[in-house]
Amino acid sequence: MQVTKHVPNFLTSLNVFCGTLATFLALNGMIQIAIWLIFIGALFDFSDGFAARALKAYSEIGKELDSLADLISFGMAPAAILSSIIRIKVMGDFSVSFADMQTPEKFWILSPFILVVFAALRLAKFNVDTRQTENFLGLTTTATGIFTASFAYLFLNKTDWFNWLSPILILVAVLIFSLLLVSEVPMFSLKFKNFKWAENKERFILLAIAIISIAILGLGGIAATILYYITVSVFKWIIAAKN
């Protein structure tokens, strides 16, 4: 039996494990650890594809497993983190059990899980959409998950910056990201085929913004970078639609 053919699926399975743990820990108030598990899951998500190409170990099972892993690590786990942030904003801490909360409080705490539904729709759409070979249509689940983890990192480490944050604003953000997941907005590819400025201008600018943002905000800079990426992609899509 050729062991190497199982390496990509093993890495994907580790992504599933990270996402599952992140979900459980986030719902139990351990948001900081959940954040790191999402980032670690993202590393496994990138490495399984790299391993599959390097080892020529592609499989239909691997493709399906990858989608399931993304749903958990970048759909369910981020929703759990946002739910816990709302719980902190509404209840102050985790001392009150969900069963003892009032109906409005339960509604706000459950509302981020709308994101999981749209993440599932996005992944199903991607699996059957032959147009998405080079660039993506709509925001990827991975970008959504990494953005949420980065935002949560800022929330926990720069608490004073988020006094304005309310459950309704988080729900609005969830709805916007949900629509972006299933949208037809072209998101430019982040892959460098060469290092020519003319062909990679957007990628070089995004890389520079990422370096500066992370230097200033730490892991929180990733959220700023993804927001820039979304804004540029949406702006280009609107301009193209008008022409």
- Radius of gyration for the chain, computed over Cα atoms and rounded to the nearest angstrom: 19
Task: Tell me which residue of 219, 146, 151, 139 sits closest to 177, measured CA to CA.
Answer: 139
- The whole-number pLDDT of residue 132 equals 62
Q: Is the alpha carbon torsion for 71, 74, 78, 79 positive or negative?
A: negative
Positive or negative CA dihedral for 83, 88, 94, 95?
A: negative
pLDDT confidence of 19, banded at 50, 70, 90?
very high
**pLDDT at residue 189 above 80?**
no
> Does 3 score more than 70 pLDDT?
no
Fold of 3-242: Four Helix Bundle (Hemerythrin (Met), subunit A) (1.20.120)
DSSP 166: -
> 208 or 131: whose pLDDT is higher?
208
Contact 190, 121 (CB under 8 A): no
Per-residue model confidence (pLDDT) at position 133 = 59
Q: What are the backbone dihedrals phi and psi of residue 187, each rounded to the nearest 5 degrees, phi first?
A: -105, 115
* 137: β partners: 186
Predicted confidence (pLDDT) at residue 24 exceeds the cutoff of 80:
yes
Average pLDDT of 193-221?
A: 84
Q: What is the pLDDT averaged over residues 101-105?
A: 91
Residue type at position 93: D
Which of the four pLDDT bands, split at 50, 70 and 90, describes residue 6?
confident
Which single residue is written with the structure tokens 């600018």? 205
Q: What's the pLDDT score for residue 193?
A: 63
Please give the single-letter amino acid code of residue 198. A
Reduced to 3 states, what is the DSSP secondary structure of residue 242? Answer: helix
What confidence score (pLDDT) does residue 62 get?
A: 76
Distance CA 226, CA 221 (A): 9
Tokens of 155: 């929330």
Amino acid at position 68, single letter: L
Q: What is the pLDDT of residue 164?
A: 87
Quote the pLDDT of residue 194.
62
Residue 44 near residue 14, CB atoms below 8 Å: yes
Q: What is the pLDDT of residue 69?
A: 93
Position with higher pLDDT, 28 vs 196: 28
Residues 6+ apart with CB under 8 A from 6: 57
